[in-house]
């Protein structure tokens, strides 16, 4: 029987919800491209419930306990005295969400003698030292596609919010004001702008598809080129590298995983090659951008706006400069954790657990590391190595 250690974010400050804004969720048939939705043998939650916080338990408790396993759920994840550190020593399975990542560093992996599988309830396993997992033969999985469309919607929202100057305009209303000139002196239309995505995977391509009807010119860079018919359908311009692409763009959106190849990509040098007054939206991972270079670019006007929902570390400290820099539209890490997304990644986590307990192969599209190497989706999108370092700082 296994011990499952699950790290989730805290419940709402007013307590676990007793009711919800809407009744149920709209039905989604499948993912673009034909991948099927998670298909566990059963679920023990009502779709639309808050599952990603501690009391939601990803809807896993009765399933696990009925099968004789032990489930420990905690939000206390950082530092050597954390419940996560204490419970990790004999855990077989770790489940964590990127929104509230339990950083599985090489040191922690070395202490976790029983650890066999790390499941990301969501997408993005950069909080796991993938090289250490490879070396120890630990399987790493994530629920591919579960929140890709959720994030794409958030990206489009943030692009429109920045370019149209929505947040300062909203604030004028809340503060009792009506100065239209203050609101519009930084407000533009996206129509006719050039927008480029760094990576056109599930999220990046979904962003491009959603921006097409706004009559923006669409650009992308990726390690692999999209099929010619997709490029033609959307009128895409491909650039071999981010360095080639960004000088052409009014808006850049980052949709690549964090791994050694992408860490620190948006530094002073790359940002200086962007158009003055470009907008940058990063819902991928904070460390793809240099924290202080972003602040400097907003202060100098090189960037007209920056938005995203990913920070480093998470939770972001109260004095994180991205909370107070000018012209930002940051949210906490929420884009991939809508109630809609939670339903899918909770079901996907259950599907992975069911397969693993039964000794059945885990879907290839959920695998990041398996059998001592990058595997499945991981061998396509990641590179070996470690992007978890510096998680205290
Ligand atoms: P996908 O795996 O579908 O797409 C990732 C794409 O990035 C792939 O096309 C991959 O290229 C490309 N890529 C990898 N390295 C590079 C590179 N060095 N330069 C250019 N392109 C590169 O993942 P998703 O679209 O679903 O998710 C992308 C990322 O978004 C996740 O890894 C995660 O970090 C983040 N995310 C954030 C969420 C949030 O809540 N904010 C939620 C979900 C994801 P190829 O495969 O062609 O080699």
Delimit the domains of the chain by residue range: 3-145+337-374, 148-323
Q: Which of 3, 11, 28 is nearest to 113 (CA)?
A: 3
When pLDDT is cut at 50, 70 and 90, the band that residue 3 belongs to is very high
For ligand 1, which residues put their CB under 6 angstroms from it?
A: 122-124, 147-148, 151, 198-204, 221-224, 255-258, 261-262, 283-285, 309-310, 333, 335-336, 380-381
**Span 250-293, pLDDT tens digits:** 999 999 999 889 999 999 999 999 999 999 999 999 999 999 99
CA atoms within 13 A on the CB side of 303: 29
pLDDT over threshold 80, residue 301: yes
Region 3-145+337-374: CATH code: 3.40.50.720
User: Is residue 197 scored above 80 in pLDDT?
Assistant: yes
Q: Can you tell me the mean pLDDT for 58-63?
A: 98
pLDDT at residue 214, as a whole number: 98
The set of residues, in sequence order, having a beta carbon less than 8 Å from that of 240 and lying 6+ positions away, is: 221
Helix runs in the chain, H state only? 61-66, 83-88, 106-111, 130-136, 148-164, 166-174, 180-184, 202-211, 228-234, 242-245, 268-272, 291-300, 339-358, 376-381
User: Where is 194: in which H helix or E strand?
Assistant: strand 194-198
Cα(382) to centroid of ligand 1, in Å? 8
pLDDT, residue 368, reads: 97
The mean of the pLDDT values for the chain is 96
List the structure tokens of 164. Answer: 């149209």
Q: How much is the CA Rg of the chain, to the nearest whole Å?
A: 21
Distance 256 CA to ligand 1 centre (A): 3
Position 380 scores a pLDDT of 79
Among 56-60, 62-66, 340-344, 384-388, the minimum mean pLDDT is found in: 384-388
What pLDDT does 80 receive?
A: 87
CA of 375 to the centre of ligand 1 (A): 15
Q: What percent of the chain has pLDDT over 70?
A: 98
Reported as a pLDDT band with limits 50, 70 and 90, residue 390 is very low
- Whether omega before 313 lies within 30 degrees of 0, making that bond cis, reads yes
Atom 20, ligand 1: which residue's CA is nearest?
A: 222
- Asked whether the predicted pLDDT for residue 38 surpasses 50, the reply is yes
The minimum-distance atom of ligand 1 relative to the CA of 199 is: 21
Least confident of 193-202, 291-300, 311-320, 378-387: 378-387
pLDDT band per the 50, 70, 90 thresholds, residue 70: very high
Mutating to test ligand 1, I would choose from 257, 287, 309 the residue with most ligand atoms within 8 A of its C-beta, which is 257
| Contact present, 234 and 204 (Cβ < 8 Å) | no
Query: What distances in angstroms separate CA 80 from CA 64, 75, 96, one per listed residue?
Result: 27, 14, 17
Residue 336 has a pLDDT of: 97
**What is the position in ligand 1's atom list of the atom closest to the CA of 309?**
41
What pLDDT, on the 0 to 100 scale, is given for residue 71? Answer: 98
Separation of alpha carbons 170 and 222, rounded Å = 36
Residue from 34, 199, 341 whose mutation best tests the ligand 1 pocket (most atoms within 8 A of CB): 199
Task: Report, as an integer, the average pLDDT of 86-108.
Answer: 97
Q: Which atom of ligand 1 is nearest to the CA of 336?
A: 40
pLDDT for position 389: 60
Ligand 1 pocket mutation pick from 52, 230, 231, 256 by most atoms within 8 angstroms of CB = 256
Main-chain dihedrals φ then ψ at residue 165, nearest 5 degrees:
65, 45
- pLDDT for 391 equals 40
* CA 88-89-94 angle, 5° bins: 30
| Closest C-alpha to 251, from 325, 293, 186, 306 | 306
Quick one: average pLDDT of 190-201? 98
Q: Tell me, in angstroms, the distance from the centre of ligand 1 to residue 153's CA.
A: 15
Provide the pLDDT for residue 388: 62
Separation of CA 309 and ligand 1 centre (Å): 15
Instruction: Give yes or no for residue 240 having a pLDDT over 80.
Output: yes
Q: Which residues are known catalytic residues? A: 147, 285, 314, 333
The whole-number average pLDDT for the span 33-40 is 96
Does 3-145+337-374 match 148-323 in CATH topology?
Answer: yes
What dotted CATH number matches 148-323? 3.40.50.720
Taken in order 50, 51, 55, 60, the sign of the CA dihedral is: positive
What is the pLDDT at residue 384?
72
User: Can you tell me which residue has the tokens 């069911």?
Assistant: 354
Q: Can the peptide bond before residue 20 be classed as cis, meaning omega within 30 degrees of 0?
A: no
Nearest to 141 by CA among 120, 111, 170: 120
């Amino acid at each position: 029987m296994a011990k499952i250690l699950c790290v989730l974010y805290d419940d709402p400050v007013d307590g676990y919800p007793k009711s919800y804004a809407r009744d149920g969720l709209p039905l989604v048939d499948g993912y673009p491209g034909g991948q099927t939705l998670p298909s566990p043998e059963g679920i023990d939650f009502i779709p639309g419930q808050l599952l990603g916080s501690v009391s939601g338990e990803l809807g896993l408790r009765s399933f696990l306990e009925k099968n004789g396993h032990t489930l420990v759920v905690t939000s206390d994840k950082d530092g050597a005295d954390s419940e996560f550190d204490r419970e990790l020593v004999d855990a077989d399975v770790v489940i964590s969400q990127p929104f509230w990542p339990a950083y599985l560093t090489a040191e922690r992996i070395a202490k976790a003698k029983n650890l066999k599988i790390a499941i990301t309830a969501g997408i993005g396993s950069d909080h796991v030292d993938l090289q250490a997992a490879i070396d120890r033969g630990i399987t790493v999985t994530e629920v591919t596609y579960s929140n890709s469309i959720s994030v794409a919607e958030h990206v489009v929202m943030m692009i429109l919010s920045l370019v149209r100057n929505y947040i300062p305009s909203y604030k004028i209303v809340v503060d009792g004001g009506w100065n239209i000139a203050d609101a519009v002196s930084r407000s533009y239309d996206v129509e006719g702008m050039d927008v480029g995505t760094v990576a056109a995977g599930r999220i990046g391509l979904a962003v491009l598809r959603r921006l097409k009807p706004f009559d923006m010119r669409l650009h992308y860079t990726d390690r692999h080129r999209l099929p010619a018919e997709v490029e033609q359908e959307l009128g895409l311009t491909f650039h071999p590298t981010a360095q080639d692409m960004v000088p052409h763009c009014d808006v850049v959106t980052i949709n690549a995983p964090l791994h050694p190849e992408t860490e620190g990509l948006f530094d002073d040098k790359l940002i200086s090659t962007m158009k003055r007054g470009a907008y940058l939206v990063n819902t991928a991972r904070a460390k793809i951008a240099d924290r202080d270079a972003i602040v400097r670019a907003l202060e100098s006007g090189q960037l007209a706006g920056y938005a995203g929902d990913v920070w480093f570390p998470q939770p972001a400290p109260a004095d994180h400069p991205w909370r107070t820099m000018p012209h930002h539209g940051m949210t906490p890490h929420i884009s991939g954790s809508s109630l809609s997304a939670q339903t899918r990644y909770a079901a996907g986590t259950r599907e992975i657990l069911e397969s693993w307990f039964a000794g059945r192969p885990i879907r290839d599209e959920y695998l990041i590391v398996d059998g001592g190497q990058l595997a499945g989706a991981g061998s396509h999108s990641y590179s070996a190595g470690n992007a978890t370092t510096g998680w205290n700082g």
